[in-house]
Amino acid sequence: MIKIYHNPRCSKSRQGVAILENSKKEFEIVKYLENIPSEKELTDIINLLGISPIQLVRKNEKIWKENYKGKELSDSEIISAMIENPKLIERPIVINDNKAVVGRPPESILEII
């Protein structure tokens, strides 16, 4: 089953949901600001994406700039920061079996569905 980690307030995330709706495939929406991923879940997502944790961080968020920018953080500290402040997680993230993509641009979702 396809899964999208979605923030309804984000236009790119809404575009990602629209792409999945148009695909006519079944998918699950995870509103990750309400249902914050666990450390294991977020680590698994990062591994599926094939990126380092820092690459999933929204570095322009005020929370990042005020609390983390310029600090030497380990991968686990970065993951903890995203769990404590889920707004820091880049979105949307779409997972289809063992493939995942950050939907920026949203059309990149088409590569895995």
Q: Catalytic site residues?
A: 10
Q: 53 φ, ψ to 5°?
A: -55, -40
Contacts of 95 (CB under 8 A, 6+ apart): 2, 3, 4, 5, 45, 48
Other CB atoms within 10 A of residue 61 CB: 16
Give residue 64's Cα distance to chain centre: 16
Let me know: does 83 contact 36? Beta carbons within 8 Å: yes
